[in-house]
Structure 1
Amino acid sequence: MSLARRLLLAAPLGFLAGWAAGALESALVTATSDLVFADPLLDSVEVAWRYAVVGAVLALLLSLAPRRLRPKRPAAVLGAVLGLIIFVSGTSWIHQHFYGGRPTVAAGPLIANGILAAAALALGFGLGAVRTSYAAALLLAAAGHSGVVVTAAQPSSSKAAAATAPAGTPNVLMIVIDTLRADHLGCYGYGQDTSPRLDALAAGGLRFAAAYAQATWTRPSVASLMTSLHPASHLTNDLHARVAPELQTLAETAHDRGLATVGFSANRNVSAVFGFDQGFDSFWTHASEDLNSILRFTTWERVLEIGRGFGLFRNQQPPSVAADVTDRVLAWADGHDGRPWFAYVQYIDPHGPYDPPADFLAEIGVEPLDREAVAKMDIHHGNKPWPFFQVEDADPALVARLVELYDAEIRYCDREVGRLLDGLRERGMLDNTYVVVTADHGEEFYEHKQFGHGQSAFEELSHVPLIITGPGVRSGVVDQRVELIDLYPTVATWIGAAVPERIQGRDLGDLIAGGRRPEPSEALITNIKGYELCAWVFGHEKLVRIELDGKVVWQLYDLAADPGEQHDLAADQPQRVEELKAELLRRRLDSARFRLERAARVEAGAIDSDLRNELQSLGYASDAEE
């Protein structure tokens, strides 16, 4: 058979094999996930199309292989491609779902992958030997799409407000600025002019000098803010997890009180697909879900990235900028019906890749980053936690440039937050309104030999800004330690709602009124994602426990003498570490006391290639997810 004929026969066979594999994986995702998708059937068709292109490319490559290596019959090409795709996809599923996405050579995944390889080869050779292999592949594809329709979770019907909010109920505007370090704001002592509008807000309100996030990456941190639960209780701890429908959220409490509830998020980690729309009358995410399906069928993300390089799979997600978020909120304000309201607004601009709008950079005289130089550095999130991993010999000049662009992103976002507040004030919507500004986590810039976030609990990641203004809120500074889980009961009290029993935060009302809490004030930070990191901050000390692959590391820092956490005292003070271990264990157990009674099952979900590509562009969803 001539080469041209082999290629003409192979391409459609590979296309069909890839389509069947994509449809089957789509069904697997919807069958094992509680995530809700806008149009699961259409999404599965898009996924199947992408896999079909991959299948066609693989079939062409097989046809170009030496005679002794390539399939002897056309049908065998279809079987070989299908088996290969299923093997690679299945390997990724095992890697991501059972081993946290971290590189590992443990016996478990090796054995599982071996079994999968044998099954995939058997399927491929079996299908390739069948005369009706074409029809069999079509039936597999049809079964996959049918499975999507049958097993896809249905959206819950929107719940009508149980009551009308009483006259005089205050409004609440909660602004979360993604990846914003407290120590890079002027009001927290930073020497650069990054935050004039936030500084002015803090000067007229109450600034919390020692606020802490409960996790150091977005999904679990915002879940803690919304549920007033520690990550060990809400279980929204990895890229496969969503906020469980059984959990009561702050938005649901506001909704039940009769407030209009609206959400605006520039980070797709905080979106309806991951359950963050619970309790909101409407929840806008920067990317249109009509254009970007919300399933994760991207175990071939590396291949798809190559395809994108040729323009086959262009990411339709436009760059997320603060101006778009502000415009959306103000557009909502123009049509608001006058009821008391709760609005959640999340900006993302300080998050990598530190790429403010070109006109803004020109305005402030800052040059864009050299992307080729940055690509040589390991800046993505998902590295093993410190001290199990570190980036070697980062260029100080390049680190300084990263910080310069990060600061520019803060300045740009600060301007847009100011425009949002001005716009609401002009519309009369800041009267009788509490404004809360905080962050989900900070960012590392090689202070501890890593970049990004999610892999440690050092102060540059866990210490976040918190500024509150509103009716009866005094101006000043609270120096006692508080946590983001404290915001839920605080807001509930403001709007006159009952505070749920199953929460772990404490109302900030006593501190806002000028009182004090018993010392030492403390905070707990937890990352659970393929490893467990738990940091307990109390008084002037921080005790950290990190467990990875059965190995436990303890760290101890004196934040008064060493605020930059450069000197681990665990080796020098083993007796002090032993004294504190039991206390940390007690707090770890207490933080998990509201774990759902579902055999500790995280609601594993999936996201599609567009969403994975977007998350990967932000540093998530790599081979070692953060």
Structure 2
Amino acid sequence: MINRPRALLPVGAICTMALVACARKEDPKPAQGLPSSSSASATSPAAAASTDKPATQGNPQASSSAEAGRNALNVVLITIDCLRADMPWAGYPKPIAPRLTEFASKAVEYTHAYSLSSYTSMSVGGFLSGRLPGELKRDGYFFGTYAKENLFFPELLQDAKIYTSGAHAHGYFKKSGLEQGFDSWELVPNLKWNNTTDENITSPELEAIAERQLSDPRADSGRFFAWVHFLDPHDKYMTHDGISWGKTQRDRYDGEITFTDRYVGKLLDFIASRPWASRTAIIITADHGEAFGEHKQYVHGFELWENLVRVPLLVSLPGATARKIDTPRSAIDLAPTIVDLFGLTPPDSFLGKSLVPEVRGTAADPRDILIDLPATSDNDRKRAFIHGNLKVIASGEADLPQVFDIKEDPGELTPIRGTDASKEIVALYKERQKPLQDVPPTKCKEGCLNGGYRKK
């Protein structure tokens, strides 16, 4: 979930959410390859979208497209904390998640999906708003509280009389500001609070809460959006009876994945038993990955390396054919996708684009990826930009960039310096930054680190 840094960890060590993916038959229309490193993406969300928040929230208008009726579905969003991209359906050799693997085999899998940040508070605030977290009004503390002035997509659904529910298992969600737009917002009761780790086992109670919310008459008689966030893969990696993959930290994490997988499967079975199952889209994803020694880091947060921000993304949509889409996509697209699935028009404030057309079979055009870690009371600002095979990581107030070829060097071990390609990608990154409007924190202005908020 979301932890503050431990003083003894060298680079930082905190964990939050991640996503899921698997092998199956190829896209009927072959997935587009990655764009070349020298060509700019004309459809970049940062380049094309307005950064101004709508003056009023208003009631969203029904989509006028021919797809509106077909997209008038229910949506269940399942996010799994700290779920890395390297899961069994993506080639990991241990069968640690049989139910998720089964789901992946029947879904549209995005093989190169990215979270919006590397820990929960920032990632979740971003995907709920359809914007980068640094563009949102927030207090600036590590366990950040978001202001009511931010527009989160569940508010649009609520305005359209769609029942909205959220089920969570970390104390941060109690007063985070993330509950805006939810009719039902419940946490597992009696959680033990520890701001450096998570010592609770919550999947059984969380799944029961989700079943109860989805049994609400408003879900049975109308339309609904449900968000369920499973937390158990978060460190501290707890042990569970009958589950053991070994004694290393990764082995214990794998055991947590297996335990969580059981309850995700139980929830999927419940959904399949409901009369509205055939009218319901299911998205399984998360907000970040996890580190097991990469770059001398453990758990998550503080950095934007691939193992922290590349996550699985699975979409099961009525009528959509299971396949892989290799074109990179970002959690910035979740808000417009979910709004579109309800037959509503996404507002101009969303930076991403709906994935619904390509999930249904159209070609997936290349788009650039932006990942944002705003400065907080506990970390400097970092931002990452991915264009084709090249990735820029820029740190702090000076925005000093490193460039990596993540296809040839997926571990990001050797920065590229002084080449025409590295100069071009840095220039493109700076150009993509221009439409973005960084919002300074409202409370820790003197306590927030670097990133334009306080000089060291």
| TM-score category, normalised to shorter length | 0.7 to 0.9
Structure number with greater CO (CA < 8 Å, separation at least 6) is: 2
Deviation at 1:474, TM superposition (A): 2.1
Q: Which residue number in structure 2 is paired with residue 354 of structure 1?
A: 237
| Alignment of 1:265 onto 2:168 | yes
| Alignment of 1:340 onto 2:340 | no
| Alignment of 1:419 onto 2:266 | yes
2-structure distance, mates of 1:543, 1:246: 31
Q: Which residue number in structure 2 is paired with residue 542 of structure 1?
A: 391
- Determine helix, strand or coil for the equivalent of 2:289: coil
Deviation at 1:163, TM superposition (A): 11
Deviation at 1:590, TM superposition (A): 2.6
Kept in 2, the 8 Å contact 1:545–1:552? The answer is yes
Structural mapping, 1:443-592, within 5 Å: 443-519=290-366, 521-529=367-375, 530-547=379-396, 553-570=400-417, 573=418, 575-592=420-437
- Determine helix, strand or coil for the equivalent of 1:264: strand
2-structure distance, mates of 1:418, 1:561: 36
Structure 1 letter corresponding to 2:435: D
- Determine helix, strand or coil for the equivalent of 1:210: strand
2-structure distance, mates of 1:233, 1:267: 24
Deviation at 1:238, TM superposition (A): 3.8
Structure 2 letter corresponding to 1:602: T
| Alignment of 1:602 onto 2:449 | no
TM-score (norm 2): 0.76
2-structure distance, mates of 1:325, 1:259: 22
- Structure 1 stretches lacking a partner, 5+ long: 1-95, 104-158, 293-297, 306-314, 370-400, 606-626
Instruction: Report the aligned-residue RMSD.
Output: 3.2
Q: Which residue number in structure 2 is paired with residue 254 of structure 1?
A: 157
Kept in 2, the 8 Å contact 1:163–1:258? The answer is no
Q: Which residue number in structure 2 is paired with residue 279 of structure 1?
A: 181
Deviation at 1:561, TM superposition (A): 1.2
2-structure distance, mates of 1:202, 1:510: 19
- Determine helix, strand or coil for the equivalent of 1:410: helix
1-structure distance, mates of 2:94, 2:436: 37
1-structure distance, mates of 2:223, 2:441: 37
2-structure distance, mates of 1:219, 1:208: 23
2-structure distance, mates of 1:215, 1:261: 24
1-structure distance, mates of 2:190, 2:156: 27
Deviation at 1:180, TM superposition (A): 0.6
Query: 1:521-580 CA distances to partner (integer Å, 9 max, x unpaired)?
Result: 321111122411111111111111112xx665432111121122222223xx35543333
Q: Evaluate the alpha carbon distance shift between residue 533 and residue 421 of structure 1 in structure 2; reply closer, same or farther with a 3 A threshold.
A: same
Deviation at 1:588, TM superposition (A): 2.6
Deviation at 1:425, TM superposition (A): 1.7
2-structure distance, mates of 1:482, 1:365: 34
2-structure distance, mates of 1:499, 1:167: 15
Kept in 2, the 8 Å contact 1:177–1:439? The answer is yes
Kept in 2, the 8 Å contact 1:226–1:250? The answer is yes
Structural mapping, 1:186-265, within 5 Å: 186-236=88-138, 238-239=141-142, 241-265=144-168
Deviation at 1:231, TM superposition (A): 1.8
Kept in 1, the 8 Å contact 2:165–2:226? The answer is yes
2-structure distance, mates of 1:163, 1:576: 44
2-structure distance, mates of 1:604, 1:273: 17
1-structure distance, mates of 2:275, 2:106: 18
1-structure distance, mates of 2:143, 2:204: 30
2-structure distance, mates of 1:473, 1:268: 37
- Determine helix, strand or coil for the equivalent of 2:102: helix
1-structure distance, mates of 2:131, 2:244: 43
Structure 2 letter corresponding to 1:448: H
Q: What is the identity percentage for the equivalent residue pairs of Structure 1 and Structure 2?
A: 27
Deviation at 1:243, TM superposition (A): 2.1
Structure 2 letter corresponding to 1:266: A
2-structure distance, mates of 1:416, 1:194: 13
Kept in 1, the 8 Å contact 2:201–2:238? The answer is no
Q: Evaluate the alpha carbon distance shift between residue 603 and residue 350 of structure 1 in structure 2; reply closer, same or farther with a 3 A threshold.
A: same
Q: Evaluate the alpha carbon distance shift between residue 603 and residue 249 of structure 1 in structure 2; reply closer, same or farther with a 3 A threshold.
A: farther
Kept in 1, the 8 Å contact 2:390–2:404? The answer is yes
1-structure distance, mates of 2:154, 2:76: 12
Kept in 2, the 8 Å contact 1:235–1:241? The answer is no
Kept in 2, the 8 Å contact 1:347–1:413? The answer is yes
- Higher Cα radius of gyration: 1
1-structure distance, mates of 2:131, 2:146: 11
- Determine helix, strand or coil for the equivalent of 1:416: helix
Query: 1:245-274 CA distances to partner (integer Å, 9 max, x unpaired)?
Result: 1122121111112111110011333x2411
Kept in 2, the 8 Å contact 1:267–1:346? The answer is no
